[in-house]
Structure formats: structure tokens, C-alpha cells
Chains A and B, each alone.
Chain A
Amino acid sequence: MTAVTPQVAFVPKDFASDQEVRWCPGCGDYAILKATQKALADVGATPDSTVFVSGIGCSSRFPYYLATYGFHTIHGRAPAVATGVKLARPDLDVWIATGDGDGLSIGGNHLLHVLRRNVDLQILLFNNEIYGLTKGQYSPTSHRGTHSPSSPRGTQEEPVSPAQFALGAGGRFVARAIDTQQKPLVEILKAAHAHRGASFIEIFQNCVVYNDNAFATFTERAVAAEMQLWVAHGKPLLFANGARGLRLKPGTLTLEAVTIGEAGITAEDILVHDQTSKPLALMLAALEPPAMPVALGVLYCNPTACLPMAPAEGAIVLPALPQRIDAALRLGDTWTIEPRAGG
């Protein structure tokens, strides 16, 4: 008789650690944590082969609340640490939790390069457009004019768009989600996990203390349908319950929001989403309220070769054979000193 190891199926709560969660009441991070635990269970992940790596900031406390392996590192450097984890152990399932300050300010360089190298891991960028843990300074994604302790007269800087940055850096999977919209968030996390290469998800996350309602222009229930465009590969780019859609403005290379049935527009005029088209992804990522809806979902998914190059095969590569090292040391010019006569 062969002993059969029962297939253990993990449920979301198996991914919850025993640590008390210490985010502010009402923080969007709770919803992201919950969605991540569900996505991990849904994709059949095991806590023992999953690693969450984070930098510094509210979002970067994420690993403490997951019952996986976790490493809370230093500000901005999670992509570099995670790259080392993945290259050393290709068999591990590696995730990064970062924020707009951690990932796009102090750690912008590492985010650029983890995307460019296309390291096979998932990046969750919690974008709340503010520095939370340092008490409310403006961040690189804060909109121009944001009033904060460090910008009392409003910022004079243009924000960076995380999704556009990720596309520009060569990211091959770029998606957007909203913290409180659990169902699509879980689906996007699962799609990111399935993608081989660096998967980047910008999650609009509400900071109730320092930047409440930062995304109300498109997340408020009353405007959600009008201002959220959920894209799906092969499906027309429709929003407002299918009443409106996007088309290429004739004679230009810009997207235009149109109403079906008005000015001779029919369903045939609406662009169909192609998640392998980078030009389209860039245009979708650039849409901004109030003139346009916010594009959500998988904007771009176009796999290519990724790191580590070799497919994961079990654990650590066997140590080099001593004979192979000896041979390597002998390459090139060597010479022998013979023992002297008489000793």
C-alpha cells in the first residue's frame, strides 16, 4: 500500500497570520488583505511556498498579516529583495506589497527594473495618493494642488501615473483595481498570479485619515457606472451600463467617449479591448476623470521571456561538484613546483 498524502486545500483564513492587524479602522488595506487571502486560496497557493516582500509604509505591513513567509524590508527596496528571493529560489511564489511613496518615490528605480527584467512575481501597488505612515505629506501620485503638511499652499508638481509608469518601464502585465470592489480585485489578483513575468496591479486604496475620498470621483456609488470602465479582453470598451463606450476619435489617435445611439454611433463603432496592444493600454491608462472614465481591469497582458530563465525545478540547484571547481581553477596557465631534492 502506498500512503497517499491527501491534497490539502487551503481556505482564505489559512492565509491569515495570528498577528493583530494594526491599520486604521476603515482603511482600504483591510479589503486588499481579504481579497489577497481569497485569491491565494482560489489559486491553490500554499502558505509554505509563498513569500510576501514589502518595503516601508502602511501598505508594507501587509506581510505581517499573512500566514506565509514574509519579509518586511526597507523603504523602496522590496523589488530588489524580491528579485533576490526569486532568482535564488525560482520555485517560490513571490509577491511584493508596496505603496505610491515606497514604490514610485524612494523605490522608483527598483520598480522600473523589476518590471524591465520581467521577474516572475506579483506587485501590488497600493495607491492612496498620500504618505500615511509619516502623517499625511503629499506623495508622487498626489494630484497638483494637494494640500498637506509639506505642501501648505498646495503641491506645484504633476503626479506620476503608476499604470503608465509600469507600461513605460516594460511591464507585461498591468492592471488596475479598487480596494473595496472585492470581486474584480480577486479576479485580477488571480490573473496576475497566472501571468508568467512581473505582474503589476495598481490598487486604488482609500486612506480614511489623510486623504479620504481621494478617488470619490469614480468610486462613489452614484458615479461608479459612469466613471468606471472595466475592460475585458475581446469585449467592447463599454461603460455606463453599456450605454457609453470608447472609440478612436476619427482622424486622430485619441480615445473618445461616445454614447451609443447618439450622433449615429452604434455598437459597431466601439473599440474592442485587446490586452496585447500596448498603444491601447497606454491610452486607457491615461484616461482621467472628469472628462473620461477610469479604465480598470487588465489593461495589458502580453507575456514574454522572464526571469529566472530556467523553469522552476524543485529547490536549490545542487552545489557544484568539487571536481568541476578544481577543473575551473586549472583553466589557463598553471605550473608545478616539484619537491626539491633532499627535502
Chain B
Amino acid sequence: MDEINPSARSQQPKHTLSRLPLESAVVRFAGDSGDGIQLIGNRFAIETAQSGNDLATFPDFPAEIRAPVGTTFGVSAFQINFGARLIKTSGDAPDVLVALNPAALKVELPNLKRGGTVIVDTGSFSERNVRKAGYAANPLTDGSLADVRMITIDISRLTLESVKPFGLSQHDALRCKNMWVLGLVYWMYGRERQSTTAWLGKRFASDPLVAEANIAALNAGHAYGETSELAGAMTGFSVAPAPLPPGTYRSVTGAEALAWGLVVGTHLAGLKLFFASYPITPASPVLHLLARQTELGVTTLQAEDEIAAVCAAIGASFAGALGVTSSSGPGMALKSEAISLAVAAELPLVILNTQRAGPSTGLPTKTEQSDLNQALYGRHGEAPLVVLAASSPADCFDVAIEAIRLAVRAMTPVIVLSDGYIGNATQAWRFPAVADLDAFPVRHEVNPEGFSPYRRDPETLSRPWAVPGTPGLAHRIGGIERDYETGNISYSPENHQRMTDVRAEKIARIAQAIPDQTVTLGPNNGRLALVGWGSTFGPINRAVGLALDRGDAVSHIHLRYLSPLPANLGELLAGFERVLVVEGNNGQLRALLRSQYLLDAEGLNKMTGRPFTIEEVERAIRDRL
């Protein structure tokens, strides 16, 4: 049957009418958590990236694995912002909302941009589904959507028609609905289908009939767009390639970038990577990726609990590997005692915290930046360590490598803060060749002459890393305070003072090994600086960029290093009349800056489980200028 033959279809001329050029667009796919929303979102992202746009995505899914079908709390969404310019966030309000059921419309419509377009599957608006979503009457027919640009299509019926020749069950046939709508959105933005077609073939290799049905649905959705364009019912858009630096790219989530950063960083250090973790949302994807890298020399352990995970990592570091553990806020609390042991024993250790909304279970799949205080202070005793934060999915790669560099430089634990937003979000990533990165080979101690496990490097104050199995260096370490010179147990009051001081000084001296703080965007001094850390980078940067375009005097200062703070930070901040700290908590960095620099910093804070929007930051700028 020719009309459903994919190869015949894709050979037809693609664009018959001219497309409306856009600088950028935000599209949000939403449907039931079983509708395959994340899947089509990711496919759309890949095709968009391959067409040369810059992009950022934001998957937004419920905590329940399979919430009851058709309910509002079972709505899964995926947002993508893409453009001909550089993209800093996953976008505020969507220009186009795809709602595959009434619940998705109910949940997502309030976020639609004014004048935005909604594509709905009328076939899913049965009386039952409408009621389940909490509508008193069908919103498509009761006139309540009069102000919204609606594109109403019976996607369910058209999908069933398009896959009819394959003889699938009604249930399986309807599952191709996501591909039909993906085809339509591909047409809207002039996307190619070849790589998705190939991908479907691979994904359903064991069931070619299902693969063909999905491809047929994809093509049918695309063809529907072409036809309705000819009929004047829909407009196609074009988004030109963005001015991205040349190179090889892939899309990457923050979790993946952390994992790759650990693999590459341990290679640059010449160490074996030992990763121990206990499953927790939203941190687990790091474990999943690393568990597949045994051929790259990675050892992973799914530990019995959070405490065992950090303790096994500490044991591995004692044995000369780089121990890494990973969790989210509640798990970090459990690891706290062991992290203090690593501070006391002075062993390198990297601890990843993919933050989520707390306290306690909180909102496990939603994002927050509320574990900064926990990272800085959440230990017993005077236990200073290094805290870094990643600003974007791709930045997770660089920050993971930096964490390893600092951990082995100073024989110290390093906490890396990511969050649920950048952990799950994707970004186009120009990944490096390993050979192009600077190595920082670690030297394990081998010389028994004059050896003491706590003899310090005069510059870094780091102790030697003498690994079990090394001849002549057998020694004992532990949590009990140890003598400054010999490392043997010491209860001396003067020695405890001296050791407390040197542990603090060792971390303070890391400020000499990190770059000075620079202004990310805008003038180096002036009326207003917006200070952020972590995933607020995108919205702050875009909002400041827009304000600068308007001629406002505003700057963006983004912190990667939170402990120790960059040596020049106080001086830099003093050059601004006002400092506004933007963070997804109740003012944790702000309190730190106020106490460190006696600075009258203000706060812009948000605790909704969602990232800041650009508009929210812009408004805060306007209010202050």
C-alpha cells in the first residue's frame, strides 16, 4: 500500500508553501504518564539539535510510576525551548501546547503563553475522561476556550486509521498516537524524520510490525500537517540554525554529564573510579549510566543503604581508587557522619547531590536548591570541605572533573550540587576528546623514607595518599584525632587545636587553586548585580541579557565555587550598589554572603518545585532599577 510506505512518503517534496521564520520557540508535550510523552519529547529534541538549533529541555513527570489513567496527577510533560539564538533555559510559557488528553489540557493550559496555540486530541475527550480531569463539561464545546488558538484533531481516530493495515490490537494501535502527533509537530517546524524512522526500526527490532506501525503513524501526522497547510488551517514555521561553535555535539542530561565527568576525570587523574550509590529519585540515573561502564574500568556498587554507599566509597579511596557516592537530600543526611570521617581521615571523596524539593520526601521529582546549607554545614564537628555547583546539564561534566581535581589535590571530600532540573534536563553538548583535556595525574606515596601518613605538603597542606599494598608504608588511620606529626592517636588539647586549624586552612587554601570570580554578563560594577549558583544560571542569564539589551545597568555573577568562595568575590560584590541573590530556597546563599562580607544582599526566592522563569527574574530587575 503506497500511501503508508514510509520511504515513498519521505521522498515527496517537503515544503510546498513558505514557512514563517522564528527566532525561537517553546513547545510543551503533555499527556498521560503512559502516553510516551518523554519519548517523543526526547526525539523532537534530537531532531531539533541535528537541524542546528540550540536547545534546552525540561522533562516534568509525576512521582507515581503509573498514576491512574486520565487523572491530573498522572500528567507527564516535556518542554523544549529551541532557537536560532543561544538558548539558556527550557523556556517560560509554551508557544505550543500539545495536550493528548483532557487532564493534560486542564493542568497545562494555565501555563500557555498569551496567544499561544493548543493542539488537542479530540478523540480522548470522552465524557468519562473529561470528568476525570475535573471538568464539569467538555471544554472543547462549552465555549470556555474561546480566547485560545485551538487546533482540534481527532488524533486517536487518525492514528487508528494510519496503522490499520498492520492489524494491531486497538490497544497497541492507539499507542502509536504519540508518533502521530510527533509527525505533526515535525511538520510544523520543518524537521526531518529519517533518524526517528531509523530509531524506531532499532527500538522495535524484535517486532517489525510495531516498528512499521509507529513509522506509519509518524508519517501520517506529518502528512496531515502538509494537507492542512494547503487548506490554510495550519502554519508551518522555520527556525534557522543557531550560531553554535563548530564541533561534534550530542544531547546530554545533567545526570549523564556527571557520570561522564567522573569517568573522564578519574582517567585524567590516573585513578580507578569506584562508584557506590543507593537508589533515590532524582539521582539514580548516574548509577544506571556508570553501571554500564565496566569496560571503561568503572566499578559500581548498589549499596544496601546511603550510609553503606558513602562508606564503601571511602573504603575504595583508602585503597587508592577514587570513591564517589551520589544521592539526593534525604540520603545526604544519612551520609553525613561518614563524610565527617572522610574529612578527619583526609581522604579524597566526591559526593553528588541531585537536589529535590524537601524537607523529607517533599516533592521527589521536583527541583529545589535547598541543600546548600546542608552541603556547607551539615556535619558534626568542624568539618570543612569543598562545595561546587553545576549550572547546566553540560556544565555537570566540567564540574565533576573539577571536583575530582580538588578532591585529590587536597585529600578532601568534595560535594557537587546538581538538582532535579538540570539532572533530567537535556542540552546540546559539544563534548571534548579526552586527549584535549588537561591531565592531573595523582602520585600515590611510595617512599618509606621519613614517611608519616599525616606529613603535609607545605603548599597545599595535603597529606600523602599511601595506599594499602605499598611496601613499607603500612599505617593506621581513623576517626580518632591523630597527632600532627606521626598520625598516631592523640588526645592532646594543643594537637586538636592545631589539627582543627590545619584542616580549615587546607580548605581555605583551595581558593588559590580556583579561578577568580568573574562577571558572567554585564559590567564589572554598577547599580545591580544578580548573583546565582546552580541551575538558576539559565533564567538569570537570559533575563540579564534582555535587560542589557534594553539598556539597563545590571550584571550577572554566577558562582561555581561555594566553599571555599573565590578569593576576590567580596571585592567584586562591593562594586555594586545592590546585590540580588536569586536562588530556589529561602535565602541560603544570601545568608552566606551577608555573613562573609557584611553585605546587604537581597533575595529573590522561589519554592514551588519549579525552576525560575525568565519573566520572574526580569520583573525583579525592573523592580530594582
A72–B467 Cα distance when bound, in Å, is 15
Say whether B468 contacts A53, CB under 8 Å.
no
Say whether A333 contacts B311, CB under 8 Å.
no
- Residues in chain B near residue A74, CB distance under 8 A: 311, 337-338, 341, 479
Partner of A334, one of B199, B243, B248, B263: B248
A19 within 8 Å of B (CB atoms): yes
B381 within 8 Å of A (CB atoms): no
A339–B50 Cα distance when bound, in Å, is 15
Say whether B301 contacts A85, CB under 8 Å.
no
Say whether B250 contacts A334, CB under 8 Å.
yes
Partner of B341, one of A70, A73, A325: A73
Give the segment of B71-79, B134-142, B315-323, B355-363 that binds chain A: B315-323
Taking A84-B274, A84-B276 as known contacts, 16 extra A-B pairs with beta carbons closer than 8 A to each other, sorted by chain A number, are A47-B474, A49-B469, A64-B476, A68-B474, A69-B468, A69-B469, A72-B476, A80-B312, A84-B316, A86-B315, A87-B274, A92-B319, A110-B304, A316-B272, A333-B199, A334-B250
17 A-B interface contacts by CB (under 8 A): A64-B489, A71-B345, A73-B311, A80-B304, A84-B274, A85-B319, A88-B321, A89-B320, A316-B271, A316-B321, A324-B296, A325-B263, A326-B435, A330-B248, A333-B50, A335-B248, A337-B245
B573 within 8 Å of A (CB atoms): no
Binding site for A on B (CB under 8 A): 46, 49-50, 52, 195, 199, 241, 243-251, 260, 263-264, 266-267, 270-272, 274, 276, 293, 295-299, 301, 303-305, 307-309, 311-321, 323, 337-338, 341, 345, 430-431, 433-435, 467-480, 488-489
Say whether A48 contacts B319, CB under 8 Å.
no
Most buried by B among A81, A109, A324: A81
A338 to chain B, nearest CB (A): 6
**A192-216 toward B: CB 8 Å interface, digit per residue (1/0)?**
0000000000000000000000000
Say whether B50 contacts A325, CB under 8 Å.
no
B435 to chain A, nearest CB (A): 5
Partner of A325, one of B46, B247, B434, B489: B434
A291 within 8 Å of B (CB atoms): no
**A298-329 toward B: CB 8 Å interface, digit per residue (1/0)?**
00000000000000000111111011111011
B334 to chain A, nearest CB (A): 11
Binding site for B on A (CB under 8 A): 17, 19, 47-49, 51, 53, 56, 63-64, 66-74, 77, 79-89, 91-92, 109-110, 112-113, 315-320, 322-326, 328-330, 332-340
Partner of B315, one of A56, A67, A80, A318: A80
A73–B308 Cα distance when bound, in Å, is 12
A336–B345 Cα distance when bound, in Å, is 46
Describe B's contact surface by its main secondary structure: mixed
- Residues in chain B near residue A318, CB distance under 8 A: 297
Say whether B251 contacts A87, CB under 8 Å.
no
Partner of B307, one of A80, A87, A322, A329: A80
- Residues in chain B near residue A332, CB distance under 8 A: 250
A324–B276 Cα distance when bound, in Å, is 22
Contact A109 to B315, CB < 8 A, known contacts A73-B478, A89-B469: no
Chain B, Cβ-Cβ closest to A83: B312
A294–B181 Cα distance when bound, in Å, is 73
Contact A84 to B476, CB < 8 A, known contacts A329-B250, A334-B250: no
Give the 5 A-B CB pairs with smallest separation, nearest first: A84-B315, A72-B478, A84-B312, A80-B311, A70-B476
Say whether B314 contacts A81, CB under 8 Å.
yes
Chain B, Cβ-Cβ closest to A70: B476
Contact A324 to B468, CB < 8 A, known contacts A48-B473, A71-B478, A72-B478: no
Say whether A329 contacts B318, CB under 8 Å.
no
Say whether B315 contacts A53, CB under 8 Å.
yes
- Residues in chain A near residue B303, CB distance under 8 A: 80, 113
Say whether B316 contacts A88, CB under 8 Å.
yes
- Residues in chain A near residue B312, CB distance under 8 A: 80-81, 83-84, 87
A86–B470 Cα distance when bound, in Å, is 15
Describe A's contact surface by its main secondary structure: mixed
Say whether B272 contacts A88, CB under 8 Å.
yes
Contact A333 to B304, CB < 8 A, known contacts A88-B299, A89-B320: no
- Residues in chain A near residue B431, CB distance under 8 A: 329
Chain B, Cβ-Cβ closest to A75: B337
B349 to chain A, nearest CB (A): 11
A325–B295 Cα distance when bound, in Å, is 9
B466 to chain A, nearest CB (A): 9
Partner of A319, one of B272, B318, B320: B272
Most buried by B among A49, A319, A340: A319
Chain B, Cβ-Cβ closest to A47: B474
- Residues in chain A near residue B49, CB distance under 8 A: 333, 335
Say whether A324 contacts B318, CB under 8 Å.
no
- Residues in chain A near residue B244, CB distance under 8 A: 337
Say whether A77 contacts B267, CB under 8 Å.
no
- Residues in chain B near residue A63, CB distance under 8 A: 476, 478
Say whether B297 contacts A319, CB under 8 Å.
yes
A213–B475 Cα distance when bound, in Å, is 35
- Residues in chain A near residue B305, CB distance under 8 A: 109
- Residues in chain B near residue A326, CB distance under 8 A: 433-435
- Residues in chain A near residue B50, CB distance under 8 A: 333, 335
Say whether B245 contacts A88, CB under 8 Å.
no
Contact A72 to B314, CB < 8 A, known contacts A80-B307, A84-B301: no
A336–B430 Cα distance when bound, in Å, is 9
- Residues in chain B near residue A56, CB distance under 8 A: 479
Say whether B469 contacts A91, CB under 8 Å.
yes
Chain A, Cβ-Cβ closest to B241: A337
Say whether A71 contacts B318, CB under 8 Å.
yes
Say whether B318 contacts A81, CB under 8 Å.
yes
Chain A, Cβ-Cβ closest to B345: A71
A58–B248 Cα distance when bound, in Å, is 58
Say whether A322 contacts B267, CB under 8 Å.
yes
Contact A109 to B316, CB < 8 A, known contacts A19-B489, A72-B478: no
Contact A85 to B468, CB < 8 A, known contacts A69-B475, A335-B249: yes
- Residues in chain A near residue B311, CB distance under 8 A: 73-74, 77, 80-81, 84, 110
- Residues in chain B near residue A315, CB distance under 8 A: 469
